[in-house]
Copies of this chain bind each other. A is one copy, B any other.
Amino acid sequence: MLINELAKRAGVSTHTIRFYERYGLLQGKRDPSKTSNNYFDYDEECLARLELIIDAKSGGFTLSEIAEIIDAWYGDIYTAKQKRQILENKLVVLDQRIAELRDMKKRIRECIKEIE
């Protein structure tokens, strides 16, 4: 698919996709044997990857942390053991973040109680 379709399916702007491409999180493929233009082609894996980025972002990860996750998951630069290590560290971060959110909920619930 072309960038416009990818953008629509993922629910982000083409600008954002370009930005992620420049950042190195995503890359379409150009196949000169198939098309004469210089349009990029994005497959389903690209979409899955973009959706991972979006989800990780709403999970509070920064783009550089997401780059780490993507390198661990899609890249060949790490061994299986290292990949697991990186991903397990992210799980720890997520658990901490969940704990913080629970604290915040508790705090707000106390505020509500005091109003009554």
A112–B84 CB distance below 8 A: yes
Number of copies: 2
A59–B94 CB distance below 8 A: no
Contact residue range for chain A?
20 to 34
A residues lining the B interface (CB < 8 Å) = 52, 55-56, 58-60, 69, 73, 80, 83-84, 87-88, 90-91, 94-95, 97-98, 100-105, 107-109, 111-112, 115-116
Instruction: Please name 10 further chain A to chain B contacts, defined as beta carbons within 8 Å, in addition to the given A58-B97, A98-B98, sorted by A numbering.
Output: A52-B107, A58-B100, A60-B101, A83-B115, A87-B112, A88-B112, A91-B108, A94-B101, A94-B104, A94-B105
11 contacting pairs across A/B (C-beta < 8 A): A55-B103, A55-B104, A58-B97, A59-B101, A60-B60, A69-B108, A73-B111, A80-B116, A97-B101, A98-B98, A98-B102
